[in-house]
């Protein structure tokens, strides 16, 4: 017992001789307070288990009560060092007195992490004899935290090339304006650490990936309850992109990865640019995994190589799918991918799909991108689809060129269309050949879950029907989607995502003589999950011959949707609520366009697999409710 007591005394003495935590400019004082002397305590307990926990039946050495305002009471009760020793039932009076002597400094350190540097503390130790007391002693700590320290001024300085580089002025301003601790805000250790880390992330995200925190100081005036902050960042050298070094690829030519990445040699380093290139490579189908990083150890930072660590996808892959949608019911599909066709080396993606309204078989072949980014493309499709009030058997052949950029996609192609309608009354088949050009621009803040920005898609086709009477025609189509931020939904812990308006416009026209037999697949129908909610898929068309629905030559669609984040119990959630109004019309003549309106409300969820939406819409003309479900975002 004497040996155990001696060991315990030495352990406690070593713990008490450790210097107190210095709050500034050191980080994590509260974490250090929790870790101090834990190994010594465990070593002094021969009866403790492997985790250092004393036997449950052992009587505590003392009870601990903290009397303080709510803002600090729980924090102190949770992190005071005294809590570490409370269950050591064989502590002597002298040992408890020594612990109590160190507790005041420990409490002041902890209060300092919360911004209280002039507290008033009273510590009381009293005996509680008697078998009914939970412990032989009671410790009470009474705290008057005093005024909370607020930021008086904050200075962010720069050293290295960023300090004099005129091209980096916007980056410097962004770090200064985005500094997390503004004058007037309360000072806390965690906020101070977070602000420094956020500034460093903003520095290293562009141009200066080797940047570092060169120094920081928080000068505290306890009497005035103010803090003056000073931070210095050293940017390190400016880095520019060199070539792409592909590692791990054995099956596919590294040139494919270089051209798909579309990284411009000599461009200043930008982390967002590398992430976008990484996403393109991952989505290309050639690789199962992709990781891009800049080689900051390169001898020449002005030509630093980008290392692409990849794992090749299989040469061929088949995927069997089962699904369902509110528009077309249950669906079965089989997709086959061949990443390198024999002899030509093109990539082929083929698909067979069956659902309640469509039976489809298609294949699309794409050549690897050339040095200028353009690539050859070709596709074929045959399908039988319930469109409006009749079935359409159709086919399509397409061949041309395409190019995908950071924001803009362009294609031009020659297309052959064939369609035959079967309904209550059969109609003659029709066919056409056309030359087409397509342009799509995406300017969203996020490619997967946009909250700001716009997208615009345009297409123009010039064609001729192939069945008598042979007539020329033009086909134009435009689609626009814009997000306009509105106010913010406030959460107790900070600002939640901003609410926004989602505005959508869509229009198309096929201009030809009334007798021209334009294939129905070149004309328009609308209605469904992504167009006019409250109506079935392609349920809105030009109505002729009584109540039968046919595709029309003119299309107009508009939508307004208010998307608002949901805050629950003072915390931002991954859900949003929406209300919307959709309207759409199809006709064979512009003057006959009559809008069909759908109104409703829905929920959005930012799920791990992408945004999911569920909308309940009422079709004013159809006089019925419809549930619309959708996963993902595409434009």
Confidence of residue 327 (pLDDT cuts 50, 70, 90): low
Residue 47 has pLDDT above 80, yes or no: no
Instruction: Please list the residues that pair with 625 across neighbouring strands.
Output: 618
Residue 228 has pLDDT above 70, yes or no: yes
Q: What is the pLDDT of residue 114?
A: 93
Residue 587 has pLDDT above 80, yes or no: yes
Residue 532 has pLDDT above 60, yes or no: yes
* Whole-number Å distance between alpha carbons of 309 and 247: 5
Residue owning tokens 């479900």: 629
State percent of the chain over pLDDT 70.
Answer: 86
Token pair belonging to 510:
């096929």
Which of 110, 105, 106 lies closest to 75, judged by CA?
110
Instruction: Enumerate residues 6+ apart whose C-beta is below 8 A from 592.
Output: 542
Q: Is 499 left (phi over 0), alpha (psi -120 to 50) or beta?
A: beta
Q: What is the pLDDT of residue 17?
A: 36
Output phi, psi for 7, to 5 deg: -60, -40
* Count of C-beta atoms within a 10 Å radius of residue 49: 10
Which of 590, 430, 571 lies closest to 508, judged by CA?
590
CATH of 150-234, one of 3.10.20.310, 3.30.70.20, 1.10.260.40, 3.30.559.10: 3.10.20.310
Residue 110 has pLDDT above 90, yes or no: yes
Residue owning tokens 């109104």: 599
* Whole-number Å distance between alpha carbons of 220 and 57: 46
Tell me the pairing of strands 358-366 and 120-127: unpaired
| CB 467, CB 428: distance < 8 Å | yes
Tell me the pairing of strands 624-631 and 610-619: antiparallel
Residue bearing the bigger pLDDT, 79 or 543: 79
* Whole-number Å distance between alpha carbons of 158 and 205: 15
The residue ranges of every structural domain in the chain are 2-144, 150-234, 241-312, 437-631
| CB 80, CB 110: distance < 8 Å | yes
pLDDT digits (tens, 9 = 90+) for 341-399: 999 999 999 999 998 888 999 999 999 999 999 999 999 999 998 765 677 899 999 99
CA dihedral 420, 422, 425, 428 (to 10 degrees): 10
Arithmetic mean of pLDDT, 109-134: 88
Helix pair angle (189-204, 93-113), 10° resolution? 50
pLDDT digits (tens, 9 = 90+) for 410-444: 999 999 999 987 764 446 789 999 999 999 999 99
Residue 11 has pLDDT above 50, yes or no: no
* Count of C-beta atoms within a 10 Å radius of residue 58: 14
Confidence of residue 29 (pLDDT cuts 50, 70, 90): very low
Dump the DSSP string for 200-213: HHHHHTBT-TT-EE
CATH of 437-631, one of 3.40.50.2000, 3.30.310.50, 2.40.160.50, 3.40.50.2300: 2.40.160.50
Residue bearing the bigger pLDDT, 412 or 52: 412
| CB 612, CB 622: distance < 8 Å | no
| CB 310, CB 247: distance < 8 Å | yes
Residue 621 has pLDDT above 70, yes or no: yes
Output phi, psi for 418, to 5 deg: -135, 140
Residue 483 has pLDDT above 90, yes or no: yes
Q: Does 150-234 match 241-312 in CATH topology? A: yes
Mean pLDDT of the chain: 85
What are the residue ranges of helices labelled H in 398-466?
A: none
Q: Which residues of 350-378 are buried (b: 16+ CB within 10 A; e: fewer)?
A: bbebebebbebbeebbbbbbeeeeebbbb
Tell me the pairing of strands 472-491 and 571-587: unpaired
pLDDT digits (tens, 9 = 90+) for 90-105: 888 888 889 988 999 9
> What angle (nearest 5°) sits at the alpha carbon of residue 304, between those of residues 299 and 307?
115
Confidence of residue 14 (pLDDT cuts 50, 70, 90): very low
Output phi, psi for 16, to 5 deg: -75, -25
Q: Looking at the structure, give the CATH architecture of the domain made up of residues 241-312.
A: Roll (3.10)
* Whole-number Å distance between alpha carbons of 200 and 234: 9
Residue bearing the bigger pLDDT, 379 or 323: 379
* Count of C-beta atoms within a 10 Å radius of residue 591: 7
Arithmetic mean of pLDDT, 24-44: 34
Residue 544 has pLDDT above 70, yes or no: no
Q: What is the pLDDT of residue 389?
A: 63
Lowest mean pLDDT among 173-177, 338-342, 479-483, 484-488: 484-488
pLDDT digits (tens, 9 = 90+) for 237-295: 999 999 999 999 999 999 999 999 999 999 999 999 999 899 899 989 999 999 999 99
Residue 567 has pLDDT above 80, yes or no: yes
Tell me the pairing of strands 137-144 and 596-607: unpaired
Confidence of residue 629 (pLDDT cuts 50, 70, 90): confident
Residue owning tokens 């000072």: 187
> What angle (nearest 5°) sits at the alpha carbon of residue 304, between those of residues 302 and 306?
145
24-32's contacts with Cβ under 8 Å and 24+ in sequence apart are 24/217, 24/218, 24/220, 25/216, 25/217, 25/218, 27/189, 27/192, 27/193, 28/189, 28/193, 29/109, 29/110, 29/112, 29/113, 29/189, 30/79, 30/109, 30/110, 30/113, 30/189
Instruction: Enumerate residues 6+ apart whose C-beta is below 8 A from 579.
Output: 561, 562, 600, 601
Entry pTM: 0.72
């Amino acid at each position: 017992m004497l040996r155990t007591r001696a060991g315990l005394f030495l352990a406690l003495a070593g713990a008490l001789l450790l210097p107190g935590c210095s709050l500034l400019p050191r980080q994590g004082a509260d974490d250090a307070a929790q870790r101090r002397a834990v190994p010594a305590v465990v070593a002094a307990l021969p009866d403790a288990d492997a985790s250092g926990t004393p036997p449950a039946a052992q009587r505590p050495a003392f009870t601990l009560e903290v009397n303080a305002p709510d803002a600090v009471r729980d924090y102190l009760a949770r992190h005071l060092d005294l809590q570490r020793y409370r269950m050591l039932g064989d502590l002597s009076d002298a040992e408890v007195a020594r612990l109590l002597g160190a507790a005041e400094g420990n409490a002041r350190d902890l209060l300092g992490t919360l911004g209280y540097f002039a507290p008033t503390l009273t510590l009381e130790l009293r005996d509680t004899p008697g078998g009914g007391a939970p412990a032989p002693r009671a410790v009470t700590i009474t705290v008057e935290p005093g005024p909370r320290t607020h930021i008086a001024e904050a200075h962010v300085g720069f050293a290295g090339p960023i300090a004099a580089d005129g091209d980096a002025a916007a980056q410097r301003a962004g770090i200064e304006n985005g500094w997390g601790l503004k004058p007037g805000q309360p000072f806390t250790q965690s906020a101070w650490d977070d602000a420094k880390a956020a500034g460093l992330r903003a520095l290293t995200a562009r141009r200066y990936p080797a940047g570092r925190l060169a120094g920081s100081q928080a000068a505290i005036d306890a009497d005035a309850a103010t803090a003056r902050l000073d931070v210095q960042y050293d940017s390190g050298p400016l880095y520019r992109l060199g070539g792409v070094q592909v590692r791990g690829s054995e099956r596919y030519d590294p040139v494919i990865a270089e051209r798909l990445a579309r990284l411009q040699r000599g461009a200043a380093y930008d982390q967002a640019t590398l992430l976008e290139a990484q996403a393109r490579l991952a989505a290309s189908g050639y690789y199962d995994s992709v990781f891009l990083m800049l080689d900051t150890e390169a001898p020449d930072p002005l030509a630093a190589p980008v290392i692409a660590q990849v794992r090749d996808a299989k040469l061929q892959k088949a995927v069997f799918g089962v699904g369902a949608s509110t528009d077309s019911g249950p669906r079965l599909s089989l997709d086959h991918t061949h990443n390198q066709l024999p002899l030509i080396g093109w990539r082929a993606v083929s698909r067979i799909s069956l659902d309640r309204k469509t039976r489809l078989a298609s294949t699309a072949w794409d050549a690897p991108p050339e040095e200028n980014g353009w690539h050859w493309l070709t596709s074929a499709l045959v399908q039988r689809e319930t469109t409006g009030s009749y079935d359409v058997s159709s086919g399509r052949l397409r061949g041309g060129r395409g190019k995908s950029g950071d924001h803009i996609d362009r294609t031009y192609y020659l297309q052959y269309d064939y369609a035959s309608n079967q309904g209550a009354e059969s109609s003659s088949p029709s066919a056409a050949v056309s030359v087409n050009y397509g342009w799509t621009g995406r300017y969203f803040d996020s490619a997967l879950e946009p909250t700001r920005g716009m997208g615009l898609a345009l297409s123009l086709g010039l064609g001729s029907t192939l069945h008598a009477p042979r007539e020329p025609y033009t086909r134009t189509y435009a689609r626009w989607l814009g997000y306009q931020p509105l106010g913010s939904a406030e959460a107790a812990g900070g600002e939640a995502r901003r609410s926004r308006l989602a505005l959508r416009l869509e229009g198309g026209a096929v201009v030809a003589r009334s007798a021209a037999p334009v294939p129905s697949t070149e004309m328009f129908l609308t209605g469904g999950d992504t167009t006019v909610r409250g109506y079935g898929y392609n349920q809105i068309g030009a109505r002729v011959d009584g109540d039968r629905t046919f595709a029309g030559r003119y299309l107009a669609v508009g939508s307004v949707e208010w998307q608002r984040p949901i805050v629950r119990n003072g915390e931002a959630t991954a859900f949003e609520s929406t209300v919307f109004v959709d309207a759409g019309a199809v006709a064979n003549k512009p003057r006959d366009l009559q809008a069909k309106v759908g109104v409703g409300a829905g929920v959005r969820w930012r799920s791990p697999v992408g945004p999911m939406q569920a909308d309940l819409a009422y079709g004013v003309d159809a006089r019925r409710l419809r549930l619309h479900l959708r996963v993902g975002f595409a434009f």
